[in-house]
């Protein structure tokens, strides 16, 4: 670095002199007022989240805890509805998988393994082999056969996008990277990307990631799945730390920074390398 | 991590109630915002009031920060609105001050003044301080410590809790950021 007398940056900074500070008493007054406001805001948000989570947990709990009389593998329960407002998404556990609801979505849980999509969009990631779910819609049933998929209900049709595995819609099977559109009379299919902007709401609705005690590989694999990418990685594994719940993108930044590796996304690949 | 990513990360921690994140948020932004507001309201108590309202409003709507601009830029936008409200509520006229850091057309006029030497020294000093305030992270502090206080790289590293190599690298990035920002604000290479 050029630090001689003729260094123009050094000259300018010296010429300007130190930036004026703010009186300590004034700073303390504002800090206290803003901190109070911030803590109150965090408390308000926390209670809102707790209330929403409690309502959803009560619904799902009701579904899972009710024991059937006639159908042991698929208990019939009192119908319960999950609804999201226009400014929030949510995710809940269902049948060992993750069920996410986009904004302005209404879903009725009919039994432990079946639900009816009334409006909006859902994404289901089935992480339990052998447990299949069926989603009823006005345009036909969507039957999961071990997969991750999105169902979006429109006024005139049903759209199903499969990220992984396969689903069956009115006798038509859609495999990974396929979109099916079913209206009253026909089912059409086309190939789609399994990552990108159209899947962004699913990532945003993902449960938070806590790094503490997890391996770098485990975290990167989860991030790749959430983003619909294939992980390409070399280098040794390591244990991560940090108990702050992070979004998927925050976790990617934090985990790679902590592990001293770099990442880039090329097409549908998440490439992670050690720093050169 | 880019500046916007780092700011989004900081905001995410704030939303989760992380006290250390609040300290970082306040320490980084209060003084630059106060220095932004003071010449615009021309009164220390008024500047305090406006900045406090700005920061209180900001912490209430943190969830709407999308990381599309640096956090200080976002806060400055809120601060501008609070300054307008301050004068509207009091039915006062804002003082006539040079807002060269505020409006592109005034910035362009400043650039048209010509070579560095024809502009008054205090105006250059004001813009340099403004640029230092707008630099990300601790870049502005690091440059002051280096060139005004005369601290060594090792001393700066200690203040920033970094390894000397990392501090040296930070100073290099700070110089580059200063050069770019000064050129944008003033229209000439330092």
- Which phi and psi (to 5°) does residue A134 adopt? -130, 135
The average pLDDT across B120-145 equals 82
| pLDDT top residue among B113 and A217 | A217
CB proximity list for B186: less than 8 A, separation 6 or greater: B110, B111, B124, B127
Query: Which residues, numbered 40 to 79 in chain A, qualify as contacts with chain B under a Cβ-Cβ cut-off of 8 Å?
Result: 41-42, 45-46
Say how many C-beta atoms besides its own lie within 10 A of residue A57's C-beta. Answer: 13
Domain-terminating residue out of B90, B115, B139: B90
Residues from chain A that touch B178, judged by Cβ atoms under 8 A, are 9, 13
Partner residue opposite B18 with nearest CB, options A12, A244, A257: A244
> Quick one: pLDDT at residue A62?
42
> Quick one: pLDDT at residue A72?
29
Q: Would B96 be classed as within a structural domain?
A: no
The average pLDDT across B123-128 equals 78
| Integer CA distances (angstroms), A98 to A124, A167, B37, in order | 6, 16, 48
ipTM score: 0.72
B10 and B82 part of one domain? yes
> Among A207-211, B108-112, B160-164, where is mean pLDDT lowest?
B108-112
Measured between CA atoms, the residue of chain A closest to residue B34 is A22
Instruction: Give CA–CA dist A229/A249, Å, rounded.
Output: 13
Task: Look at residue A68 and tell me whether its pLDDT is greater than 50.
Answer: no
pLDDT band at A71 (very low <50, low <70, confident <90, very high): very low
CB proximity list for B5: less than 8 A, separation 6 or greater: A253, B67
Domain-terminating residue out of B36, B61, B90: B90
- Which phi and psi (to 5°) does residue B179 adopt? -60, -45
B72 and B151 part of one domain? no
User: Are B58 and B78 within 8 A, CB to CB?
Assistant: yes
Whole domain around residue B121: which residue ranges? 104-186
B180 and B120 part of one domain? yes
DSSP B63: G
**Contact yes or no for A41 and B52 at CB 8 A:** no
> Quick one: pLDDT at residue B98?
47
| pLDDT top residue among A91 and A37 | A37
- For chains A and B, count residue pairs whose Cβ atoms are closer than 8 Å: 114
> Quick one: pLDDT at residue B190?
56
Helix (H) or strand (E) holding A46: helix A24-65
The average pLDDT across A60-73 equals 34
Query: Which residues, numbered 10 to 29 in chain B, qualify as contacts with chain A under a Cβ-Cβ cut-off of 8 Å?
Result: 12-18, 22, 26
**Contact yes or no for A34 and B55 at CB 8 A:** yes
Tokens of residue B154, six digits: 């090792």
B39 and B76 part of one domain? yes
Helix (H) or strand (E) holding A29: helix A24-65
Half-sphere exposure in the Cβ direction for A27 (13 Å, CA): 14
Which residues are registered as beta bridge partners of A144?
A: A167
> Quick one: pLDDT at residue A69?
27
Q: Would B82 be classed as within a structural domain?
A: yes
| Backbone conformation region of residue B45, classed left if phi is above 0, alpha if psi is from -120 to 50, else beta | alpha
Q: What is the pLDDT of residues B24-63, one digit of tens each?
A: 999 989 999 998 898 888 889 999 999 999 999 999 888 8
> Quick one: pLDDT at residue A235?
82
**Contact yes or no for B178 and A18 at CB 8 A:** no
> Quick one: pLDDT at residue A190?
93
Q: Would B99 be classed as within a structural domain?
A: no
Flag whether residue B60 sits within 8 Å of chain A, measured between CB atoms.
Answer: yes
> Quick one: pLDDT at residue A120?
93
The average pLDDT across A226-233 equals 90
* Percent of chain B's residues with pLDDT above 90: 22
> Quick one: pLDDT at residue B135?
84
> Quick one: pLDDT at residue A48?
53
* Percent of chain A's residues with pLDDT above 90: 24
User: Are B135 and B150 within 8 A, CB to CB?
Assistant: no
The average pLDDT across A16-42 equals 89
Q: Would B98 be classed as within a structural domain?
A: no
Query: Which residues, numbered 161 to 190 in chain B, qualify as contacts with chain A under a Cβ-Cβ cut-off of 8 Å?
Result: 168, 171-172, 175, 178-179, 182, 189-190
> Quick one: pLDDT at residue A35?
93
B22 and B83 part of one domain? yes
* Percent of chain B's residues with pLDDT above 70: 78
CATH number of the domain bearing residue B79: 1.10.1740.10
| pLDDT top residue among B129 and B186 | B129
pLDDT band at A217 (very low <50, low <70, confident <90, very high): very high
Measured between CA atoms, the residue of chain B closest to residue A264 is B1
**Contact yes or no for A15 and B128 at CB 8 A:** yes
Say how many C-beta atoms besides its own lie within 10 A of residue A29's C-beta. Answer: 13
Instruction: Give CA–CA dist A166/A174, Å, rounded.
Output: 5
B9 and B78 part of one domain? yes
Residues from chain B that touch A14, judged by Cβ atoms under 8 A, are 147-148
CB proximity list for B100: less than 8 A, separation 6 or greater: B106, B107, B109, B110, B123, B127, B185
Q: Is the model's pTM score more than 0.90?
A: no
CATH number of the domain bearing residue B111: 1.10.10.10
Partner residue opposite B125 with nearest CB, options A15, A31, A34: A15
DSSP string covering B86-126 = HHHHHT-PPP----TTT-HHHHHHHHTT-SGGGS-HHHHHH
B167 and B110 part of one domain? yes
Query: Which residues, numbered 226 to 255 in chain A, qualify as contacts with chain B under a Cβ-Cβ cut-off of 8 Å?
Result: 244-247, 250, 253-254
Q: Would B145 be classed as within a structural domain?
A: yes
C-alpha closest to that of B121 among A186, A15, A169: A15
Task: Name all domains of chain A by residue range, CATH numbers in brackets.
Answer: 53-198 (2.60.120.1440), 208-274 (3.55.50.10)
Task: Look at residue B123 and tell me whether its pLDDT is greater than 80.
Answer: no
> Quick one: pLDDT at residue A161?
93
Measured between CA atoms, the residue of chain A closest to residue B54 is A34
Q: Would B129 be classed as within a structural domain?
A: yes
Q: How many domains does chain B have?
A: 2
pLDDT band at B116 (very low <50, low <70, confident <90, very high): very low
Domain-terminating residue out of B62, B90, B118: B90
Q: Would B172 be classed as within a structural domain?
A: yes
> Quick one: pLDDT at residue A73?
30
B78 and B134 part of one domain? no
The average pLDDT across B5-16 equals 84
Partner residue opposite B175 with nearest CB, options A1, A38, A39: A1
Q: Would B80 be classed as within a structural domain?
A: yes
Average pLDDT over chain B reads 79
pLDDT band at B118 (very low <50, low <70, confident <90, very high): very low
The average pLDDT across A162-180 equals 89
Count the residues in chain B: 190
């Amino acid at each position: 670095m050029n630090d001689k007398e003729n260094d123009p940056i050094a000259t300018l900074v010296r010429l300007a002199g130190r930036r004026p500070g703010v009186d300590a008493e004034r700073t303390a007054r504002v800090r206290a007022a803003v901190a109070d406001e911030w803590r109150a805001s965090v408390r308000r948000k926390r209670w809102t989240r707790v209330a929403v989570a409690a309502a959803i947990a009560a619904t799902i709990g009701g579904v899972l805890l009710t024991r059937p009389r006639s159908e042991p593998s698929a208990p019939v329960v009192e119908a319960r509805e999950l609804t999201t407002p226009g400014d929030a998404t949510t995710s809940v556990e269902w049948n060992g998988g993750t069920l996410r609801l986009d904004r302005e979505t209404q879903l009725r849980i009919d039994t432990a393994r079946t639900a009816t999509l009334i409006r909006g969009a859902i994404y289901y990631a089935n992480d339990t082999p052998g447990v299949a779910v069926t989603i009823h819609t006005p345009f036909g049933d969507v039957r999961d056969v071990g997969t991750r998929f999105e169902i979006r209900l429109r006024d005139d049709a049903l759209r199903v996008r499969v990220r992984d595995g396969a689903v069956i819609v009115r006798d038509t099977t859609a495999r990974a990277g396929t979109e099916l559109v079913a209206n009253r009379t026909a089912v059409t299919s086309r190939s789609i990307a399994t990552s990108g902007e159209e899947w962004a709401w699913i990532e945003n609705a993902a449960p938070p990631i806590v790094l503490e005690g997890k391996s770098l590989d485990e975290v990167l694999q989860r991030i790749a799945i959430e983003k619909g990418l294939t992980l390409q990685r070399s280098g040794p594994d390591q244990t991560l730390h940090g108990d702050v719940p992070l979004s998927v993108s925050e976790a990617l930044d934090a985990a790679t920074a902590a592990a001293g590796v770099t990442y880039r996304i090329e097409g549908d690949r998440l490439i992670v390398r050690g720093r050169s | 991590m880019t500046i916007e990513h780092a700011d989004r990360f900081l905001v995410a921690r704030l939303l989760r109630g992380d006290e250390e994140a609040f300290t970082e948020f306040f320490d980084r932004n209060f003084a630059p915002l106060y220095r932004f507001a003071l010449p615009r309201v021309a009164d220390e108590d008024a500047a305090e009031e406006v900045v406090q309202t700005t920061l209180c409003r900001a912490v209430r709507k943190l969830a709407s920060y999308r990381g599309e601009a640096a956090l200080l830029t976002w806060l400055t936008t809120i601060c501008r609105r609070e300054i307008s409200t301050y004068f509207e509520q009091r039915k006062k006229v804002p003082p006539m001050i040079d807002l060269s850091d505020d409006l592109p057309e005034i910035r362009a006029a400043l650039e048209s003044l010509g070579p560095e030497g024809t502009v008054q020294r205090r105006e250059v000093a004001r813009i340099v301080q403004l640029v230092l305030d707008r630099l990300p992270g601790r870049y502005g502090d690091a440059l002051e410590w280096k060139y005004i206080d005369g601290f060594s790289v090792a001393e700066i590293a200690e203040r920033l809790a970094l390894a000397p190599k990392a501090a040296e690298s930070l100073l290099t990035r700070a110089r580059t950021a200063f050069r770019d920002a000064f050129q944008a604000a003033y229209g000439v290479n330092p």
